[in-house]
Structure 1
Amino acid sequence: MERFKKSRILQVNVLYLSLGLLLFFLGSIVQSKEIYSGLLITEYIIILLPNLIYLKLTGIPLKQSLRLNKISLKQAWYIIWITIFSYPVAIFLNTLVITILSFFGEMVPSSVPIPENLGLYFLSIFIIALSPGICEEIMFRGTIMNAYEDIGKKKAILFSAILFGLFHLNLQNFAGPTFLGLIFGIIVYKTNSIYSSILGHTLNNGLAMTIGYFGMKEQSQAIDVPAYEIPYQTQMLILLAVLSIFAICSLIILIKLIKKLPKGEGGIQQDIQLRETNILHYIPIIGIIILFIIINIKYLFL
């Protein structure tokens, strides 16, 4: 078991590459057949199950490796507001990338379904909000961040966030998740509980689903009126300017909220044993980066 623990970064990087390939090939197939059941298979079979098996094989108790520690109501209250004020910043970052890409080619719309009725809305909250909140957080703020602690906690937060953004395999949806990954990593370390990031991730996805659902309802009820046609790039620049104001204000509040977030028992401890790594440990990540580039090169040639 000791040998198994010594090369944890290499092991989780191999796991990450394997699951990224499964996500791209198998996940896309099952989701194309039926999106909701496909997403359930993706989250629980492709993502969650292999991570739990890996964590079991390490011999480290799940309570320790996943930080399965309770959070207080006060911590949960702060996490809710941290997530709410993180959302405008993430939206701004994604919009910034989309605006830049719009000058190179046509944007491909998101494949995430917007529910058409109240029943599908509640189903989507479970499948698209809660399930990723559990499964993806166990992978990124659990398996990966725990392993990357071997090179320091700050680097663990940063690397797990970048890998989280890459795992979406979508350039349009890379900057926002990476930023959220940073926030989720910070609150997990501060509260010493993965329940913090599960709550934040679930709430973030739920916010996006709720805004999409009610926004679509309002749009369907709107009366068409004649309007001057504004070029798409101009629309995006105007939207970006408006979002930047909200993002700056939200970021200021967000920083204050994170500072005031009550620490959990053992939160933000730095007394960890650092382990040596070499470039070979990170080769699997290059595989995902290459896949990411191949998938997203289309934005430059549409």
Structure 2
Amino acid sequence: MDLYRANWADDGQQRWPTVLASNSLYLIVLVLMVSISSIVFSILGPANMNTEKWLVVTLGMEIIVIGVPPLLYLMGSRMDIKRVARINRVRGVELLLVLGMAVFGYAIVGFINMVWYSILSRIGNPVEPVLPPIRTSRQYIMAIIAMALTPALVEEFLFRGVILRGYERFGIWTAMVVSGVLFGVLHLNLVNLPAIIFLGVMISYVVIRTNSLFAGMFYHFVQNFLSISFLFLQEVAQRYLRDGMAVPENVEQMPPELLAAALTVWGIIAFFCLGLFIACLASFNRVTYGKESIRTLMVDETKALSLKDMLPAIAAIIIVIVYLGIEVFTMIKSVQ
């Protein structure tokens, strides 16, 4: 059977990722991420992990743990990768509006992070992910590649290229929300969880509206690029201030009064950015009108979901609950 015919089921229908396959793929990636990251970082140890080595390890893990499994699945299933993953061209005007949504949405994401952090701080001491300092131009470029470009490529291929497709059997909105939630949860980051979920849902929306995975990759890249750039600028400011006023590296280091002031400032910025974000979104909707496309149902998808379809998702939920539960317990115990 040639490759073209292999893309189709026996009844002549186009083959698509199923819910069972999407859930299984998600569970595999989650288990690999938790286990391999624990092994790698325990072997190398913090003492041997300078910034550049950390970035190289992160780059390798992104590709192997998150990028390879969905590619092997699509190749092993002999599906049309271009069609399934929406490898389609995107127009310049669409990318320009996506850029505006990503930039103005960054302030919204930052405000959500601060509000969520203030809520968590009432029950314990939230701990943000520890990232290595980015002090030199070389480290900055490496960070852009390892923490912005590569995640934008491989994570979007997994979530919007495969998992979103699997859940499209339930319609656009369910697919967007589920893929966004799964995207946020996979980061295993309680402090940034609501903001990452918001980002995941918005990227799913952009991909569906443009019918192009490249638009989602661009949105994702811009968000990560801004985060890394701010980290780099903080290091630069810290170096120039020297013995002057210290620049807090993250929310965790802010005293309560500074956090309240920052929350107010970010709230004002986010309010104005929200208007600009909505304006970009409205223009984006007009430009992409009628372009959105979701897959057709396969014959066996007319049946209700079985327990077997959801077992991998249930297992993944249990792992996440245990992981985040330990983090919450640690937060509460830290103030006792």
Tell me, yes or no, whether TM beats 0.5.
Answer: yes
Aligned to 1:120: 139
Among candidates 273, 284, 309, match of residue 250 of structure 1: 273
1:20 maps to 2:26: no
Within a 5 Å distance, the mapping from 1:72-151 to structure 2 comes to 72-151=91-170
Among candidates 157, 164, 176, match of residue 183 of structure 2: 164
Assess, with a 3 A threshold, how the Cα gap between structure 1 residues 159 and 225 changes in structure 2: closer, same or farther.
closer
Residue by residue over 1:104-134, the C-alpha shift from the partner in whole angstroms, topping out at 9 and shown as x without a partner, is 2223232232311111101111111000000
**In 1: Cα distance, 2:245 partner to 2:148 partner:** 35
Q: Could you tell me whether the CA contact under 8 Å between 2:16 and 2:166 is conserved in 1?
A: no
Q: Could you tell me whether the CA contact under 8 Å between 2:17 and 2:165 is conserved in 1?
A: no
Aligned to 2:297: 273
1:282 Cα deviation from its structure 2 partner: 2.7
Deviates more, 1:139-148 or 1:242-251: 242-251
Deviates more, 1:97-106 or 1:161-170: 97-106
1:253 Cα deviation from its structure 2 partner: 1.9
Assess, with a 3 A threshold, how the Cα gap between structure 1 residues 285 and 97 changes in structure 2: closer, same or farther.
farther
**In 2: Cα distance, 1:91 partner to 1:18 partner:** 30
Among candidates 210, 234, 240, match of residue 263 of structure 2: 240
Deviates more, 1:72-81 or 1:259-268: 259-268
**In 2: Cα distance, 1:151 partner to 1:225 partner:** 53
Aligned to 2:3: none
Structure 1 stretches lacking a partner, 5+ long: none
Instruction: State the aligned residue count.
Output: 299
1:263 Cα deviation from its structure 2 partner: 4.5
1:287 maps to 2:315: yes
Assess, with a 3 A threshold, how the Cα gap between structure 1 residues 145 and 237 changes in structure 2: closer, same or farther.
same
Assess, with a 3 A threshold, how the Cα gap between structure 1 residues 31 and 41 changes in structure 2: closer, same or farther.
farther
Could you tell me the TM-score, scaled by structure 2's length?
0.81
**In 2: Cα distance, 1:219 partner to 1:101 partner:** 27
Residue by residue over 1:224-274, the C-alpha shift from the partner in whole angstroms, topping out at 9 and shown as x without a partner, is 259xxx983343233222222222322222122122126459622367338
Residue by residue over 1:21-66, the C-alpha shift from the partner in whole angstroms, topping out at 9 and shown as x without a partner, is 1111102333553422221222111111110111223333111111
Q: Could you tell me whether the CA contact under 8 Å between 1:187 and 1:258 is conserved in 2?
A: no
Assess, with a 3 A threshold, how the Cα gap between structure 1 residues 266 and 65 changes in structure 2: closer, same or farther.
farther
**RMSD between superposed Cα atoms in Å:** 2.5
Q: Could you tell me whether the CA contact under 8 Å between 1:170 and 1:292 is conserved in 2?
A: no
1:175 Cα deviation from its structure 2 partner: 1.0
Aligned to 2:244: 224
**In 2: Cα distance, 1:177 partner to 1:2 partner:** 36
Assess, with a 3 A threshold, how the Cα gap between structure 1 residues 246 and 220 changes in structure 2: closer, same or farther.
same
Deviates more, 1:50-59 or 1:32-41: 32-41
Larger Rg: 2
Structure 2 stretches lacking a partner, 5+ long: 1-7, 45-52, 247-252
Q: Could you tell me whether the CA contact under 8 Å between 1:193 and 1:264 is conserved in 2?
A: no
